[in-house]
Each structure stands twice: as structure tokens, then as C-alpha cells.
Amino acid sequence: MFENGNGKEIGFMVNTDRLLKLFIELCSIPSESKCEREIAEVVSRKTKKLANEIWFDEAHKKFDGNCGNLYIKYNGNVDMPPVLLNAHIDTVPVKGEIVPVIHNGIVKSKGDTILGADDKAGVAVIIEVLNTIIEKQLPCPPLEIVFTVAEEIGLLGAKNMDYSKLNSRYGISLDSAEVEKIVNAAPSQHTLKVEIKGKAAHAAMNPEEGINAISLASRAISMLPWGRIDEETTTNVGKIQGGVATNIIPDSTIIDIEVRSMNNDKLGNFTKQIESVFKDQVEAAWIKNENKIHRADMKFKVNKEYSSFKISSKHRLVKAFLNAGCKLDIAVEPVRIGGGSDANIFNQHGIESVIMGVGMEKYHTSEEFIRISDLNKAAFLLLEALAALSHK
């Protein structure tokens, strides 16, 4: 049973020892994006006896990975439309061997690398919850479980799924930090690539004959606001490439930028503002050499990564988690975040989805860790939320 802060045991039974053992086993398996085959086969074996149907798709063939998304269907015991459960099985790049260790109720990596709680914690919680439902014959709607690949490099697994294979109306993605926070809103994102072409020249012998692409980019960047633009919008210059040597005026540079907003009009308008500022600087840059005019040029590419979503706090999904929190004496609250996840893609495809936390902290760093109590709490909360969804 789940023990609240007052020492009172409440809620359904979860095998916490089994959950921890599975989590540690999964973390020990390297699974960088596009290299998920080993962990996918382990997860497949561990869920084969639990599933009514299980299969892999071929999404990976569209982005040169070695494994597709893993689908698991469980028929449930309540007559209602299925619910989608999701976690991703890939991680950010790993430096060295992952050796999970436990100290004072915390799991972390022994070496100088990530732990992989993002998102092995979500995978482990889903498997343990499915085990518990079947063993205890607990109330549960039909489940469509998808363990996605290549989430960390642009949600590629979710973007390339065949959604005609799914019948879910609602979805729960286990891919956030705080267990008490249910994410019911997240922004849209544009990634921008600006390529500026100038003209090379010797920086000391004839600098007048060059057009400095890096200088043009710097002027444009200095004219724009960055960081938090308003309560709904953020933007960032994340990467600049260019130049060959200090004695050569750089004739090209590439700038990678992102813009995120809950408001798609703001997203579009600020993207256009960035393009306009860069364009003005480039068009004003020209030189005349031997009666020939040389002008700077620019390519501006916009990639729409994902769309925003906002699920009402009165939605059945959110209410299920609020009710589960009340039963477990956990103060659950709906929140908005600034990042994107597979849930953004599910919402785009008509599966109304929220994100629940699994307790991961300092993820994507060598200091990543998770409290065992939070891992357990996530399993209890998901189990109770599914039971709440089962009540018509």
C-alpha cells in the first residue's frame, strides 16, 4: 500500500521492490536515440505475457534508427475507449558505462554519466502498473501502450507513428519531473536555421574587399530580445558556426535559433520579426570591388517542431489525477511547462494527452538522480488515476 506523510497506508498495492529492480535494470542498458534495439527487446520480453497484442512499427526507417516504436495492447476490464500510456526508451548521449547505485533512498549513476531516469522511470512505472493491474485484477480501461524511440532528438518516434493503429481518445505520457505536477499545457516550437553568405578576404591585407558574415549575424542578434519575451513566449540563440581562421574574413555563418510560445500568433509573429531583422542587415551589406558589386545573401529556414496543447483543468484526465491525489493524500495540481514532449504530437493527432511526472531530477546531466519514494509514488498515482478513469 502507499504510505502518506502521516504513516497511513492507502491505495492499491504496488510491488515496489520489483519496480526498483526493473528500473535499475533498464537504466543499465545504454539506449541513445537511434540505438534502442537492446532495451526495446528487453521491454518486449518483460511485457509479452501481459499483452493481448504486441508489435514493433517501422518508424525508425524514416530517420535511420535501429528500432521502431514498441506497441502493447491490453484489453482491460472496463467497457470504454482505450487510454494511451507512453514513455520513451531512448536517452541523450551516454559517456561511459551506466552503473546505477543506491544511496540514502536515491538512485544515481556511479560514473560521470547520465542515469537514464529520463525516461526509464516512466517505462518502469508503466510496466509495474500493468503487472499490478493484472495480478490484482484491478479496474482498468483498455490500454494502448507505446514506448517511443528517438524522443530526445525531435520526438521522431511519435512523429512517425501510424496513428490509424490506435483508438485511444485520451493519453498519459510519463515524461516529466515532479510527480505532483500534471502537465496540461505546453508550447509550440519553431527551430530556425539562418545561413548568411558574405565574402572572404584577407583580414589584414585587404579587409575592405570582404563581407564579414559573423559580423552581420552579430548585428542582427544584438537587435533582438532573447530569453523570456513574455509569459507565453521564449526564444534562444543556441548555436553559431562559421569562420576558418582569424586572418580570414568569414564568408559564411550558420545560426540555430528556437522560438516557443503557447500562443501560435505570437510564435509566428516573432519568427517573422527575427527573419526581418536578419534580412535587413544582410540586404544592407555590400561592397564594390573592381567595378563589381558583391552583396551578402541569406537563407532562412523554419522547422515547425510541434504544436502547443492545453487541456482544461476540468477535463476527465485531469480530474482523474486530482481524484487519485486526494485518495493518496498527494497534493496534485495541473501546470504548464515550457518544453515539448511526445504528448504534443499525440494532441496534434486528436489524442487528448497530459504529462505526469515520475520524479527524475537533473536529467540530461551526470548529476541525474531519482528518489525511490518518488518512483513509487508515480506508480501508485498512475494506478489510482486509471482506476478513476474506469468510473463512467
CA of 357: how far to CAs of 135, 184, 226, 273, 360, in Å? 25, 12, 29, 35, 8
Q: What is the mean pLDDT of residues 25-38?
A: 97
pLDDT tens-digit readout, 357-373: 999 999 999 999 999 99
With 0.85 as the threshold, say if the pTM is over it: yes
What are the extents of the domains in the chain? Answer: 2-186+308-390, 188-306
Cα–Cα distance measured from residue 72 to residue 47, given in angstroms and rounded to the nearest whole number: 8
Annotation says 178 is catalytic: no
**Per-residue pLDDT tens digits for 177-226:** 999 999 999 999 999 999 999 999 999 999 999 999 999 999 999 999 99
2-186+308-390 and 188-306 agree in CATH topology: no
pLDDT at 10 over 80: no
Q: CB neighbours (10 Å) of residue 59?
A: 21
- Residue tagged active-site, from 36, 90, 361, 374: 90
Question: Which cell is 278 given?
Answer: 536578419
Question: Which residues fall within 8 angstroms of residue 40, CB to CB, at 6 or more apart?
Answer: 31, 56, 67, 70, 89, 147, 149
Query: Does position 23 have pLDDT exceeding 70, yes or no?
Result: yes
Q: What is the pLDDT of residue 4?
A: 54
Question: Would you identify the CATH topology of the domain 2-186+308-390?
Answer: Aminopeptidase (3.40.630)
Q: Which residue has the cell 530556425?
A: 192
260-294 pLDDT, tens per residue?
999 999 999 999 999 999 999 999 999 988 788 99
Reply yes or no on whether 135 is catalytic. Answer: no
Ramachandran bin of 227, using left for φ above 0, alpha for ψ from -120 to 50, beta for the remaining angles: left
Considering the domain 188-306, what is its CATH architecture? Answer: 2-Layer Sandwich (3.30)
Set of cell numbers at residue 258: 528556437
Candidates 57, 118, 119, 151; catalytic one:
151
Asked if the bond preceding 119 is cis, omega within 30° of 0, the reply is yes
Give, in order, the Cα–Cα distances in Å from 281 to each of 131, 178, 325.
60, 44, 54
DSSP 315: S
